[in-house]
């Protein structure tokens, strides 16, 4: 313990250089020019690569949809999200590389931004990929059974619209790549904490323009978590490989947390319109889904996976035979979406399980009763859903009975009754989830119509490979086609192999590094989609069983018996009928090395077996779009009680019960670890974590002070329960179980919050501020004498930060006008200004250093004056850009003479983006106001001959009054 | 996330530290516990040319009672102050507020004076200093001056400290709040910067002095006299909520902040009065 070594700790080759990435502060912009000269001049900087350099030596990444949405490892021609990699600086060390990155000047031409997927599909929305013609890249309709007939015949239709937010599950260790171009054979040797699926290996090799054999990818045996995210290291693998080729030295890059939260990847946000056709008794006869999934700026392989991964299981735990579904794939100016634990399940179940609660409420039935009436019955497994999934096993009724039994539900009901009697806000939520394990590699082809699939050839299956090797002294070692992320794979594999060979788990040596040049792997390799228990574990079992059978045959020959009579135990191989007739496992196994002549005639010498598992149930989609999306289907039933604090509107989980059926548990302790981890992440999605963009596309959750991962203090106890209905489709009977609570917990808590507050629409995460706004209605007007202005950041117009105010200056309008139009005066007016040069009489360029308190950054400001109405009004607009970020804004100023002085009225709107917006979410708006306030303070000083402004100033935002008063109030 | 190049200076005395400030002025930053500064350095939000590390200066490491004031040196960590045996007796309010500062791991490094120097509008220690009407000791080559809390913190992250000055200590009046002290804080997670924090102590003649943090650009204080009717008190709190205004950020809206002021201030006044009885 404590001896694990993450990728960053692995020794690097001699001469390794370090990279830092220059990222876009713009959500959408054309790249006009990249000036690398200053960075290249910095001692210690070896090279700077831009998108154009990359484009010349690599190809865009292959994607799933045949659409012209090219993405290279660096932005080419335009940027489409904040944080997009624009250039890299390669230097002696990371410090110098970051110094160099600050010196790369990128000139952008900002484009209109679209953040909300519903707006992205409107006719006048800016199109991210003009060649694709639209931001809606795919819209596929599916029909199973006869939903129209069922809706027409229904007692009632119940409908709901839900929105699953953007979130990600953040690993402790961010991305790491060490890439080494080997000139000798024109190949790349890359160490990276990539997690798979290895279907992306050909994508990387194609981009690098080499055959797969010349991209050697090595994955360390330890990784500090992944949760899906570490698939998305792949563009950086290509980027650093290219960098190494260009500089002729190994190149290392370690992603920092800001980069990770800006640009690693997130789960897709999804807007779902869902409808149920229901009978009087709550039986659902049909479902209709309209799924609009937002993949951010690019569609990286294997996207749009989350929209199709659950496809066969869209009807969840329910026996519903009629289904209509529309799946839309949309792009917006956000970081690209990709793998995140849960992968389509949280989005599906938020819609389905919220709807089931609505069915109960609208029919005035008990929510749990509605669930029960629709469950698939225990006698019908294996059960084929209408969309084609083949549920392997289950007993949903029994699972629910046990979960609610022994007084658990009664206790929740009693807690709710008592709380409500005392006027407290308490609610109960339920959720049932069918949890897929081991994805069918063919499910994504469901996005293509049957005739296209026909032309492309079938895609299906899921292959797992594990090698078990026994050496000359009988010691056993194992390698596998998985990537470790901390799940305890080695523990489980050693247990499975040791069981077969009659050895102790400690006797098995497990090496879970993965090397694409030396290990057995397929495109399905990696660790994702809960494929360990139903996949890798089975391959380990098969490999160990093959070894066992071979050793049994060797032993039979030596012990004068038949192989069927051979048993294994306590490190020995012996005759079942005469246990004294035996030998040490090591001795018998060693025969395969030491004495080939003693081998049975049917066996080759040596003792190394690769177990390959490819379950036959994973068939390609049928001509009617039926698809068995996964091999195993576990079951989760959650119920919880929550209480909402009337003062703070914070949600407290009072009691949480989670029942699982994951078939046979291979290792209960590891299973519990997985379930608890998924529960915490489900809780995070319900109440805490969200990737936030403002309307201008600025990312606002760039640090862990903004992106709120729950800590131990926030995690309530959870009561875990199991039943086991073994899967008939896997030799070990085990199913995947590591994602269920990511799917069930967000909606279970949402249902409880809905129950507590009688809400139809529950926003996720259900933050106290959101619940407060929903429950408390309009705020009463302020008392007399206090103006009831909008809050500071009210998004009037398009800008994220707006405001207005007025100040009275002891100077004439003419003097003020002169000051505004004179570069020398502007130098004194613009806060922190070092120099001003006039580009045209109405366009100035200034070097400024701006900030609040200790935070200060250097910027280039472009200031333009327009709508000039001499001595009366003007519009000032400008752009700011610097290493800390960028801002765009405009303000309108009117001058009114007043008793020998002048009143200046101003309104402004500012958008702030880049690093400072990502990390300063808590203060950025106030900081912007302070700087704007300084502008007017200085204007009044300069215009009035620097003798100080008249003391009367009035920022109309009540909260900004104090600082404006202070700034203008003659304190200096 | 690597800081820009800077020189690192680790003086052994406050005099040397002040001399460093005199030399570098605005280009220098004082490093004590580094719990705010190191993050800002690594994000390159601040790029000082020199970092003056005062954490090893022995003369700044003491907590002492000086007359009716508790003086906390600039190198004293929040954890050390929390563990000071006389804290509960002489500064019961701080004993309640300090556990809300970050987490125990950050309190082991973060200093009392550093938090006050940073002047975050949501921080607990600036609120404590404002509520208890403490003072800040600033030293430069040209001498030492004492500023009242209300004079020291001028806005969000802004203070009256001159570029050549360092805080050598903060001073809290001793034995304030011994007849009643309460603190509450609302944050999305435990240890986060407060969305709203409210502190209160029993004052003379049954009055309660209340401080509110996280709503305006610095902590604000009001007095609630014993004679005030419930309805007058409600009016006063309503007025306070609007005067502070609040601001929107990604965790909370201005309106939610005002609602928290409306709900928490009466609760905390009740808590203080309950102690006083």
Better-scored residue on pLDDT, A921 or A244: A244
User: Closest by alpha carbon to A317, among A273, A378, A360?
Assistant: A378
Contacts of B264 in chain A (CB under 8 A): 647-648
The answer to whether residue A74 sits within a structural domain is: yes
The answer to whether residue A571 sits within a structural domain is: no
Model confidence pLDDT, tens digit, residues A644-695: 999 999 999 999 999 999 999 999 999 999 999 999 999 999 999 999 999 8
B253–A791: do the CB atoms touch at under 8 Å? yes
Mean pLDDT, rounded, for A821-826? 84
Better-scored residue on pLDDT, A28 or A790: A28
Range of A508's domain? 463-563+582-613
At B245, the pLDDT band (50, 70, 90 cuts) reads: confident
Better-scored residue on pLDDT, A928 or A947: A928
Number of domains in chain A: 5
Q: Across the beta sheet with A215-219, what order do the strands follow?
A: A45-50, A85-91, A17-23, A251-254, A176-182, A187-192, A215-219, A514-515
What's the pLDDT at B164? 97
What's the pLDDT at A966? 33
The answer to whether residue A604 sits within a structural domain is: yes
**Residue A470 CA to its chain's centroid (Å):** 41
- In a shared domain, residues A867 and A894: yes
Which residues lie below 8 Å from residue B141, measured CB to CB, with a gap of 6+? B18, B19, B21, B22, B164
The answer to whether residue A491 sits within a structural domain is: yes
Which of A650, A706, A786 is closest, CB to CB, to B250? Answer: A706
Which of B45, B193, B245 is closest, CB to CB, to A959? Answer: B245
User: Closest by alpha carbon to A637, among A608, A658, A612?
Assistant: A658
- In a shared domain, residues A31 and A160: no
- In a shared domain, residues A607 and A509: yes
Model confidence pLDDT, tens digit, residues A716-735: 999 999 999 999 999 999 99
Helix (H, G, I), strand (E, B) or coil at A22: strand
Which of B246, B251, B263 is closest, CB to CB, to A791? Answer: B246
A647, closest residue in chain B (CA to CA): B263
- In a shared domain, residues A603 and A740: no
Contacts of A701 in chain B (CB under 8 A): 250
Q: Note whether A179 and A245 are within 8 A (CB).
A: no
What's the pLDDT at A793? 42
Model confidence pLDDT, tens digit, residues A89-145: 999 999 999 999 999 999 999 999 999 999 999 999 999 999 999 999 999 999 999
User: What is the average pLDDT score of chain A?
Assistant: 92
What's the pLDDT at A889? 87
Output the 3-class SS for A30-78: EEEEEECHHHHHCCCEEEEEEHHHHHHHCCCCCCCCCCCCCCCCCCCCE
Angle at A171 between CA A170 and CA A177, to 5 degrees: 120
What's the pLDDT at A14? 95
What's the pLDDT at A946? 55
At A207, the pLDDT band (50, 70, 90 cuts) reads: very high
Q: How far apart are CA A83 and CA A110, in angstroms?
A: 15
Q: Note whether A877 and A889 are within 8 A (CB).
A: yes
- In a shared domain, residues A846 and A911: yes
B263–A648: do the CB atoms touch at under 8 Å? yes
Q: For chain A, what percent of residues have pLDDT higher than 90? A: 79
What's the pLDDT at A1? 66
Which residues lie below 8 Å from residue A849, measured CB to CB, with a gap of 6+? A832, A834, A856, A857, A858, A859
Is the model's pLDDT at A320 over the cut of 50? yes
Contacts of B251 in chain A (CB under 8 A): 706, 708, 767, 769, 921-922
B259–A692: do the CB atoms touch at under 8 Å? no
What's the pLDDT at A900? 83
What's the pLDDT at A959? 34
What's the pLDDT at A224? 92
What's the pLDDT at A803? 78
Better-scored residue on pLDDT, A496 or A814: A496
Using the Cβ of B87 and the Cβ atoms of chain A, whether some distance falls under 8 Å is answered with: no
Report the largest interatomic distance among the alpha carbons of chain A, rounded to a whole angstrom: 119
Mean pLDDT, rounded, for A499-509? 97
- In a shared domain, residues A142 and A279: yes
Q: Which of A15-24, A408-417, B11-20, B238-247 has the lowest mean pLDDT?
A: B238-247
What's the pLDDT at A963? 33
Is the model's pLDDT at A80 over the cut of 90? yes
- In a shared domain, residues A139 and A279: yes
Which of A855, A924, A958 is closest, CB to CB, to B46? Answer: A855
Using the Cβ of B193 and the Cβ atoms of chain A, whether some distance falls under 8 Å is answered with: yes
- In a shared domain, residues A855 and A958: yes
What's the pLDDT at A552? 98
Model confidence pLDDT, tens digit, residues B99-153: 999 999 999 999 999 999 999 999 999 999 999 999 999 999 999 999 999 999 9
> Can you give the CATH number for the domain in which A185 is found?
3.90.1170.50
Model confidence pLDDT, tens digit, residues A417-471: 999 999 999 999 999 999 999 999 999 999 999 999 999 888 899 999 999 999 9
CB contacts < 8 A, A to B, total: 168
Provide DSSP, A296-307: TT---TTTTHHH
User: Closest by alpha carbon to B44, among A744, A490, A883?
Assistant: A883
Is the model's pLDDT at A789 over the cut of 70? no
Q: For chain A, what percent of residues have pLDDT higher than 70? A: 96
Is the model's pLDDT at A944 over the cut of 80? no
Better-scored residue on pLDDT, A807 or A451: A451
Could you tell me the pTM of the whole model?
0.94
What's the pLDDT at A753? 98
Using the Cβ of B255 and the Cβ atoms of chain A, whether some distance falls under 8 Å is answered with: yes
A705–B260: do the CB atoms touch at under 8 Å? no
B245–A701: do the CB atoms touch at under 8 Å? no
- In a shared domain, residues A424 and A318: no
A791–B256: do the CB atoms touch at under 8 Å? no
Contacts of A256 in chain B (CB under 8 A): 1
What's the pLDDT at A931? 80
Residue that terminates a domain, selected from A259, A274, A298: A259
At A478, the pLDDT band (50, 70, 90 cuts) reads: very high
Q: Note whether A291 and A163 are within 8 A (CB).
A: no
The ipTM (two decimal places) reads: 0.96
Mean pLDDT, rounded, for B237-262? 93
User: Closest by alpha carbon to A228, among A303, A170, A311?
Assistant: A170
At A799, the pLDDT band (50, 70, 90 cuts) reads: low
At A955, the pLDDT band (50, 70, 90 cuts) reads: very low
The answer to whether residue A552 sits within a structural domain is: yes
The answer to whether residue A866 sits within a structural domain is: yes
The tokens describing B2, both together, are 């690597």
Q: Note whether A442 and A431 are within 8 A (CB).
A: no
Compute the half-sphere exposure of residue A794: CA atoms within 13 Å on the CB side of its CA.
Answer: 14
Is the model's pLDDT at A614 over the cut of 80? yes
| Domains of chain B, earliest start first | 7-53 (3.30.43.10), 59-173 (3.30.465.10), 181-276 (3.30.390.50)
The answer to whether residue A445 sits within a structural domain is: no
Q: Which of A562-566, A589-593, A762-766, A861-865 has the lowest mean pLDDT?
A: A861-865
Q: Across the beta sheet with A508-510, what order do the strands follow?
A: A508-510, A476-480, A464-470, A608-613
- In a shared domain, residues A413 and A490: no
Within 170-189 of B, beta carbons closer than 8 Å to A belong to 186, 188-189
Is the model's pLDDT at A2 over the cut of 80? no
What's the pLDDT at B277? 66
Model confidence pLDDT, tens digit, residues B157-197: 999 999 999 999 999 999 999 999 999 999 999 989 899 99
Is the model's pLDDT at A957 over the cut of 60? no
A15 to each of A18, A91, A792, how far by Cα in Å?
10, 11, 52
- In a shared domain, residues A68 and A212: yes
> Can you give the CATH number for the domain in which A747 is found?
3.30.365.10
- In a shared domain, residues A867 and A963: yes
Which of B3, B159, B247 is closest, CB to CB, to A925? Answer: B247
The answer to whether residue A621 sits within a structural domain is: no
Mean pLDDT, rounded, for A690-704? 93
User: Closest by alpha carbon to A334, among A381, A264, A398, A284?
Assistant: A264
Contacts of B156 in chain A (CB under 8 A): 852-853, 923, 926-927, 930
What's the pLDDT at A712? 93
Model confidence pLDDT, tens digit, residues A535-563: 999 999 999 999 999 999 999 999 999 99
In this structure, the strands spanning B220-224 and B208-213 are antiparallel
Q: How far apart are CA A837 and CA A454, in angstroms?
A: 65
Angle at A51 between CA A48 and CA A56, to 5 degrees: 100
Better-scored residue on pLDDT, A859 or A191: A191
């Amino acid at each position: 313990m404590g001896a694990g070594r993450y990728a960053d700790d692995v020794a690097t080759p001699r001469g390794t250089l370090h990279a830092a990435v220059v990222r876009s502060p713009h959500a959408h912009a054309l790249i006009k020019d990249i000036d690398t000269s200053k960075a290249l001049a910095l001692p210690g900087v070896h090279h700077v690569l831009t998108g154009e350099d990359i484009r010349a030596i690599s190809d865009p990444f292959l994607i799933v949809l045949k659409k012209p949405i090219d993405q290279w490892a660096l932005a080419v021609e335009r940027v489409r999200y904040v944080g997009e990699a624009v250039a890299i600086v390669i230097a002696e060390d990371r410090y110098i590389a970051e110094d160099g990155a600050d010196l790369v000047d990128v000139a952008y031409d900002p484009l209109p931004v679209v953040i909300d997927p519903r707006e992205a599909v409107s006719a006048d929305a800016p199109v991210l990929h003009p060649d694709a013609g639209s931001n809606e890249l795919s819209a596929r309709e599916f029909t199973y059974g006869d939903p129209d007939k069922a809706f027409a015949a229904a007692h009632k239709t119940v409908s709901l619209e839900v929105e699953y937010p953007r979130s990600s599950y953040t690993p402790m260790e961010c991305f790491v790549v060490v890439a080494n171009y080997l000139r000798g054979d024109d190949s790349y040797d890359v160490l990276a904490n990539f997690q798979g699926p290895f279907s992306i290996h050909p994508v990387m090799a194609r981009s690098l323009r080499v055959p797969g054999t010349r991209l050697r990818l090595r994955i360390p045996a330890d990784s500090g978590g992944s949760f899906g995210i570490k698939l998305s290291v792949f563009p950086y693998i290509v980027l650093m490989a290219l960098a190494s080729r260009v500089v002729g030295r190994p190149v290392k890059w370690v992603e920092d947390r800001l980069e990770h939260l800006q640009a690693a990847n997130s789960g897709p946000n999804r807007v779902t319109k869902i409808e149920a056709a229901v009978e009087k008794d709550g039986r659902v006869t049909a479902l209709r889904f309209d799924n609009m999934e937002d993949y951010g700026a690019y569609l990286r392989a294997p996207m749009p996976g989350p929209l199709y991964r659950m496809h066969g299981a869209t009807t969840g735990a329910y026996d519903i035979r009629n289904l209509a579904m529309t799946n839309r794939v949309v792009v917006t100016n956000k970081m690209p979406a990709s793998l995140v634990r849960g992968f389509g399940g949280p989005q599906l179940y938020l819609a389905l399980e919220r709807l089931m609660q609505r069915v109960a409420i609208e029919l005035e039935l008990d929510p749990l009763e509605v669930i029960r009436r629709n469950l698939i019955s225990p006698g019908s497994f294996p059960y084929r859903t209408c969309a084609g999934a083949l549920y392997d096993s289950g007993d949903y009724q029994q699972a629910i009975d046990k979960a609610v039994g022994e007084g658990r539900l009664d206790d929740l009901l009693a807690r709710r009754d008592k709380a409500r009697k005392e006027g407290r806000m308490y609610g109960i939520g339920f959720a049932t989830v069918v949890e897929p394990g081991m994805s069918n590699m063919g499910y994504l082809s469901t996005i293509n119509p049957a005739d296209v699939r026909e032309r492309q050839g079938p895609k299906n299956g899921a292959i797992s490979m594990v090698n078990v090797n026994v050496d000359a002294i009988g010691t056993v070692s194992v390698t596998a086609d998985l990537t470790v992320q901390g799940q305890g794979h080695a523990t489980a594999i050693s247990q499975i192999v040791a069981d077969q060979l009659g050895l102790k788990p400690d006797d098995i040596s497990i090496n879970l590094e993965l090397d694409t040049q030396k290990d057995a792997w397929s495109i399905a390799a990696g660790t994702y989609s809960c494929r360990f228990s139903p996949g890798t574990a089975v391959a380990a079992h098969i490999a160990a069983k093959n070894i066992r059978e071979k050793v049994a045959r060797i032993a039979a020959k030596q012990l004068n018996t038949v192989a069927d009579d051979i048993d294994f135990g306590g490190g020995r191989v012996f005759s079942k009928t005469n246990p004294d007739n035996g030998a040490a496992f090591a001795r018998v196994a060693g025969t395969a090395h030491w004495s080939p002549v003693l081998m049975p005639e049917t066996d080759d010498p040596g003792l190394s077996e690769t177990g390959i598992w490819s379950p036959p149930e994973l068939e390609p989609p049928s001509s009617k779009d039926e698809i068995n999306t996964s091999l195993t289907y576990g079951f989760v039933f959650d119920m919880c009680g929550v209480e909402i604090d009337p003062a703070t509107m914070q949600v407290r989980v009072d009691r949480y019960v989670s029942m699982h059926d994951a078939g046979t548990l291979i290792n209960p302790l590891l299973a519990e670890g997985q379930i608890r981890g998924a529960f915490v992440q489900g809780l995070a999605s319900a109440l805490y974590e969200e990737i936030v963009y403002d309307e201008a596309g600025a990312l606002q959750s760039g640090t862990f002070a903004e992106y709120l991962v729950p800590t131990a203090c926030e995690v309530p106890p959870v009561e875990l329960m199991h039943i086991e209905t073994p899967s008939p489709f896997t030799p070990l009977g085990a199913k995947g179980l590591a994602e269920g609570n990511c799917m069930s917990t967000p909606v279970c808590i949402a249902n409880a919050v809905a129950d507590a507050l009688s809400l139809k629409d529950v926003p996720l995460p259900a933050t106290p501020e959101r619940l407060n706004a929903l429950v408390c209605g309009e705020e009463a007007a302020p008392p007399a004498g206090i103006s009831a202005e909008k809050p500071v950041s009210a998004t009037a117009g398009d800008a994220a930060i707006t405001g207005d105010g007025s100040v009275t200056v002891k100077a004439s309008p003419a003097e003020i006008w002169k000051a505004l139009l004179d570069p020398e005066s502007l130098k004194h007016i613009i806060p922190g200004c070092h120099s001003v040069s006039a580009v045209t009489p109405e366009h100035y360029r200034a070097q400024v250093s701006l900030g609040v308190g200790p935070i200060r950054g250097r910027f280039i400001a472009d200031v333009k004056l327009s709508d000039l109405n001499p001595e009366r009004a003007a519009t000032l607009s400008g752009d700011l850009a610097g290493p800390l970020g960028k801002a765009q804004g405009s303000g309108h100023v009117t001058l009114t003479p007043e008793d020998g002085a002048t009143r200046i009225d101003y309104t402004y709107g500012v958008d702030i983006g880049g690093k400072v917006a990502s990390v300063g979410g808590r203060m950025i708006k106030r900081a912007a106001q302070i700087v704007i306030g300084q502008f007017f303070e200085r204007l009044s000083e300069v215009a009035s001959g620097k003798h100080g402004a008249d003391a009367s100033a009035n920022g109309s935002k009540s909260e900004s009054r104090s600082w404006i008063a202070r700034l203008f109030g003659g304190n200096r | 996330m690597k800081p820009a190049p800077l020189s690192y200076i680790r003086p052994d005395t406050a005099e040397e530290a002040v001399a460093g400030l005199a030399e570098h002025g605005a280009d220098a930053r004082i490093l004590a516990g580094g719990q705010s500064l190191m993050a800002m350095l690594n994000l390159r939000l601040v790029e000082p040319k020199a970092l003056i590390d005062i954490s090893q200066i022995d003369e700044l490491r003491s907590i002492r009672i000086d007359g009716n004031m508790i003086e906390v040196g600039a190198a004293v960590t929040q954890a050390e102050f929390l563990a000071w045996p006389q804290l509960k007796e002489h500064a019961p309010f701080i004993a309640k507020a300090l556990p809300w500062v970050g987490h125990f791991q950050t309190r082991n490094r973060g200093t009392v004076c550093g938090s006050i120097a940073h002047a975050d509008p949501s921080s607990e220690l600036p609120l404590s200093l404002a509520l208890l009407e403490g003072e800040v000791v600033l030293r430069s080559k040209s001498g030492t001056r004492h500023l009242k809390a209300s004079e020291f913190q001028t806005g969000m992250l802004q203070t009256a400290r001159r570029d050549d000055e360092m805080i050598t200590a903060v001073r809290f009046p001793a034995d304030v709040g011994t007849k009643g002290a309460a603190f509450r804080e609302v944050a999305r997670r435990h240890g986060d910067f407060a969305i709203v924090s409210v502190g209160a102590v029993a004052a003379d003649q049954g009055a309660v002095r209340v401080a509110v943090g996280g709503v305006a650009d610095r902590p604000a204080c009001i007095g609630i006299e014993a004679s005030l009717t419930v309805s007058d008190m409600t009016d006063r709190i309503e007025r306070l909520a609007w005067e502070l205004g609040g601001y929107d950020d990604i965790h909370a809206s201005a309106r939610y902040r005002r609602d928290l002021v409306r709900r928490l201030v009466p609760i905390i006044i009740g808590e203080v009065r309950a102690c006083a009885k």
